[in-house]
Copies of this chain bind each other. A is one copy, B any other.
Amino acid sequence: MKIAILGGTGDIGQGLALRLAADTPHTITIGSRDAEKAETKAEEYTTELDSRGLDAEVAGAENEVAAAGAKVVVLAVPPYHIGDTVEAIADALDEGDVLVSPATGMKRDDEGFHYHKPGAGSVTRIAADAAPDGVDVVGAFHNLAAARLANLDADLGIDTLVIGDDEDAKATVTDLAEGIEGLRALDAGGVANAPEIEALTPLLINVAEHNDGLNDLGIQFT
């Protein structure tokens, strides 16, 4: 399966690209608005994989080129770029393709990080509203610490929550996520349930901030 990770030069995009390339048979292309930046980063990721003896390659391309032909397109971009990004790739999407939303809205004050719920209800909902007809949106990967994901020496042993209104699309993303070693994907219902899941990101940062020895935290449901 061909996977595009838009915003794949950013931190969570890097982690997803490396893990999916290392642990799954899928073809990974990272996308950026800047094709050259995407290609340079993709070479870095491929070198990193090669240094570990992994015969896996990551390609890089401009967002629309990366999305073309991909069955799953991960929107690893800031929440305020979700709408623009989906619009920019809309022509490259086919019916049955799946968009994945891992982003959250946060604001920071003196006390810590807080979930900044978008007017639309959630970032996943923004993506769903922007998606062309026939393309489903699934929320996933919110609660993964970027640095831990990108460090292939770090064990995961954690869960991610998957939300979406189309069961087939959710199954596709669940399979993709569980291809990553040490990651369990749990169903958390429909897009309407996104806010509580997007709110996990600031929560995890706050908990890591206040407890010595707990960094790059993940969650296990048990």
Which of A45-53, A54-62, A68-76, A197-205 interfaces with chain B?
Answer: A197-205
Contact of A193 among B158, B187, B206 (CB under 8 A): B206
Interface residues on A, range: 35 or more
Q: How many copies does the complex hold?
A: 2
| Cβ-defined contact, A195 with B111, below 8 A | no
Contact: A112 with B190, CB < 8 Å?
yes
How far apart are A10's CB and chain B's nearest CB, in angstroms? Answer: 23
- A176 at interface, CB cutoff 8 A: no
**Assembly CA distance A145 to B157 (angstroms):** 22
Q: Which chain B residues border A88 with CB–CB below 8 Å?
A: none
Q: How far is the CB of A98 from chain B (nearest CB, A)?
A: 18
Cβ B186 vs Cβ A196 within 8 A: no
- Residues on A facing B (Cβ under 8 Å): 109, 111-112, 114-115, 157-158, 161, 186-190, 192-193, 195-197, 199-200, 202-204, 206-207, 209-211, 214, 217-222
Complex: A109 Cα to B191 Cα, angstroms: 13
What's the Cα separation between A199 and B114 when bound, in Å? 12
Q: Which of B111, B196, B207, B217 contacts A206 (CB 8 A)?
A: B196
In the complex, A16 Cα to B73 Cα: how many Å? Answer: 45
Cβ-defined contact, B209 with A189, below 8 A: yes
CA distance A199 to B117 in the complex (A): 12
Nearest CB in chain B to that of A157: its residue: B222
User: How many Å lie between the Cα of A190 and that of B115 in the bound state?
Assistant: 15
Docked CA distance A158–B189 (Å): 23
Minimum CB–CB distance for A119 against chain B, Å:
15
Give the docked Cα–Cα distance between A35 and B218 (Å).
Answer: 44
In the bound complex, CA of A189 to CA of B189 (Å) = 29
Cβ-defined partner of A214 (8 Å) among B158, B186, B192: B186
A187 to B190, CA, bound (A): 31
Known: A207-B221, A219-B222, A220-B220. A109 touches B187 (CB 8 A): no
